[in-house]
Amino acid sequence: MPCAGTVDEYYIVKQHETTGTVADRAVRGRIFSVLFLAIFTAMLGLGIIIPILPVYARSESIGASGLWLGAIFAGFSISRSVFMPLIGRSSDRTGMRKAFIATGLFLYAVSSLGYIFAFNAASLLCVRVIQGFCSAMIVPIAMAYIGEICPKDKEATYMGIFTISLFMGFSVGPFLGGCIQDFYSVNAAFVVMGLLCVTAFFFVVCMLPPSPGKQSIDRQAPSSYSSILKSRQIRGIVCYRFVNAFARASVLTFLPLYASYRLELTGTQIGIIISAGVLLSSFLQYPFGRLADAVDRRYLIIIGNILYAAAIAFFPYAFSFAQLLGLNLLLGVLGAAPLPAATALIVEEGKQFGMGSTMAVFNVAMSLGLGMGPLVTGVVHDVVGVKAVFFFAAGIGVLGTLVSGHLLSASPPPSAPAEHTIVEDI
């Protein structure tokens, strides 16, 4: 099947971001829709192993300790963090965003089979490191692609809607994974994960319009990472993204263990708990994106993340399926508020410094948090116990958000957003 779209179509989007014709909006909508569908499918596959991996890693066949479990989760994120700056810069220089996304999805699908053949904690860690490299080509580059087609003053709305694909995939995935584990097997879940990534690969190859190559357009050279990090606004957003991911990853890693061993919940119940909160966050991305285009985005980031981090401290006081479910739904609301605002601010900075490079910085902060969270709290788990994990993660989240608030409050205030109607072209 031939690939849809042309390079000329991409130029139309870039040249008419705010006042394009109906045809222009149709091209933008096609790019947006294909990436939304592909990333949703890929994240569905990634989400499948969230409730499975901690228990699988602690099983007799793998035998991972709390520290090894933290390393297995951290390996993915640290690998992703190492490669994202290189891939982000390369995507800015070449403009070949479609090629990076497609390659990452294909390699992710193939490497998913590695979970089946893992025989100890070290081999499982190797699989996670490889998939971290693959992941560096997917979501950050897709976000850069979307960032380039965002009309001015609608960045939060666009990014909020696009983020729904991440949250929905990650919400349905754990539920699906828990059901597959209970009714079939763990290995079946890994196979389904690979098949979903293959499906997303074909979406991108056959339906996504190609982005312009390096020689097709007069590109401004992307800024150096040292120049990017001189921006106080970027440093503030990076700090928020790191501590939010640190706390989130700590919960995702040890909540399944707490629910399984302390409360004796089934895989399906654990999947429902995790899925419900993330699914609620996905539904709230659009309204919070609209809100972030109408108010000072910095307040949404600071207030939302402090409340999110503080709520994590209540997990040790949940003693039933219903209580864990309710608490995770609360986290879904509080976690949804800051993200569209933060991504909108990053898009604004990306238009100055280079979208791929700036998105790489944003996602490296997230990946470092996702990596450091399980690693550090894995030590806390082994030394103190599983309940202490939630208190520690909450404290890091609150303290880090205060630092983020200081950096953001010292940055120049954003210009007043223009009034606009609902986005009609996506």
- Nearest Cα neighbor of 137 from 174, 107, 95 is 107
**Which residue ranges make up each domain of the chain?**
7-15+22-213+223-410
Q: 50 with 182: CB under 8 angstroms?
A: no
Query: What CATH superfamily is the domain 7-15+22-213+223-410?
Result: MFS general substrate transporter like domains (1.20.1250.20)
Which tens digits make up the pLDDT trace of 303-322?
999 999 999 999 989 888 89
Please name the amino acid found at residue 363.
N
pLDDT in tens, 193-233: 888 888 889 888 888 876 544 433 344 555 677 778 788 88
Q: Which of 99-103, 379-383, 421-425 has the lowest mean pLDDT?
A: 421-425
Cβ count within 10 A of residue 230: 12
Structure tokens at 8: 């000329």
Q: Is 23 buried (19+), middle (13-18) or exposed (0-12) by CB count in 10 A? A: exposed
The helix (run of H) or strand (run of E) holding residue 316 is none
Q: How far is CA 407 from the centre of its chain?
A: 23
Q: What is the mean pLDDT of the chain?
A: 79
Q: Using CA atoms, how far apart are residues 371 and 42, in angstroms rounded to an integer?
A: 20
**Ramachandran quadrant class, 150 (left: phi over 0; alpha: psi -120 to 50; beta: rest):** beta
Would you say 240 and 363 are in contact if contact means Cβ atoms under 8 Å apart? no
Is residue 371 within 8 A of residue 136, CB to CB? The reply is no
Query: Confidence class of residue 16 from pLDDT cuts 50, 70 and 90?
Result: very low
Give pLDDT, residue 221. Answer: 54
Dump pLDDT digits (tens) for 319-333: 888 999 999 999 989
- Alpha-carbon dihedral sign for residues 408, 410, 411, 416: positive
pLDDT of residue 23: 45
Print burial letters for 347-381: b (CB count within 10 Å at least 16), e (below 16). Answer: bbbbeebbbbbbbbbbbbbbbbbbbbbbbbbbebb
359-390 confidence digits (pLDDT tens): 788 888 887 887 788 888 888 888 888 889 99
- Residue 125 structure tokens: 């860690």
Distances (CA, A) of 358 to 59, 145, 220, 252, 361: 40, 12, 14, 27, 5
